[in-house]
Structure 1
């Protein structure tokens, strides 16, 4: 069932085994959960001339804590991609409570970025490397009626998509595979093997929701998978071609790169 409330207000899995009740070190490790709309940003990661989410958050934290703050994130979302649950961690010498820090951070952040949770964690916790599973969702608006409300958060496909064929094709991508066929250009990642635990294609008219959970993702991997499944849904590809495209390990064989604005980082599991 499509439950937009649970997406926007996620039931967080924290506190967990990494949460500290009391601090015993001079340098504290702080974990924070962020939500943001990616429309106005050149992605998560800091760039020399780009307006990024990381840059904004680091600047706000540095102002509050009066020291240079560098943060690590569970997932580096691309330009235009949104996050319902981005997990970060950073280190500080400040004794400011996490409650006051959370409130102060939200007072400085722009309206399209929000900090929804913060706690102090063990020294070894790393938001990026400790993440075991990541989940993304992609929203497709499959109707001929335009929506001024959903246009910034969906990819609108006016022709009716064959949901059954998309579901059949998606099953070929579940499991541990080399996803080279779905990796975007410009990536220097050596190991292209990722394990997809779950890939669901659900129709909640007029939306089609594609949800994918994996141990990690290559550059543009989710958007390229969505692009191929849409081509299957439009009848441009047969559903049984998906496995052949995966095995080819050739980006030129796969489908188009779906627009960034329909993609959301939904959940991080540790």
Structure 2
């Protein structure tokens, strides 16, 4: 469905490199199309789509994809996260605004790098696009960053996002692909592991359940299946005093804290009402033996 009719003076035939003849006129038409498709933030999305389109034909193609249900971030090819523009390929989990709280909590826990200090070792498990690792590197400065994901598409995407920071991205299941030399050396271990209960997947917005990998959403029967696996292995990889931080649902957080305690970590729950986000932190005691 064209955004402009063929007879319009703002049709592709009148396109100029500056975009001045058609961009202002496009706004109302794009907003109307997006509203009709059920996009809640139609005005904001229209502005982004128009700015991304070099020609009216390209704008029509972008609007068609968005109106067809493709997540805006997949249409644009990027997401804004913690002030960064993060590449997000189709089929890759889209970083959520609430996950900024995970970054904020991890940055508050992280030992800063400085003269005479080694760079903190940071591991981003279930990394998806690598957004958390990229934002945490930006917040902490110099770090030794490793990330891992089981999805090949996510690994390819994360490698592009983390390469500027010198991050290394490994493909495999949780800790399995990490270099053995990291055992007992990780200062910060962050994991935006899936925590949606299997029975609730059908209740997610179509953008998520139809266009993001199920492995990035499904947390098992109670939503804690992957969290248990992450917590069970954490003490083997964390340095003494190192921390594991996981995003959790508000009502799941007490159970997540119990999972951490059972794995020998000292749990803490933090909540941001502003971002509607909950993070559970588990600290490896300095003197406790690794199980």
TM-score by length of 2: 0.24
TM-score by length of 1: 0.26
Q: Which protein has the bigger helix share?
A: 2
Higher-RCO chain (CA-CA 8 Å, sequence separation at least 6): 1
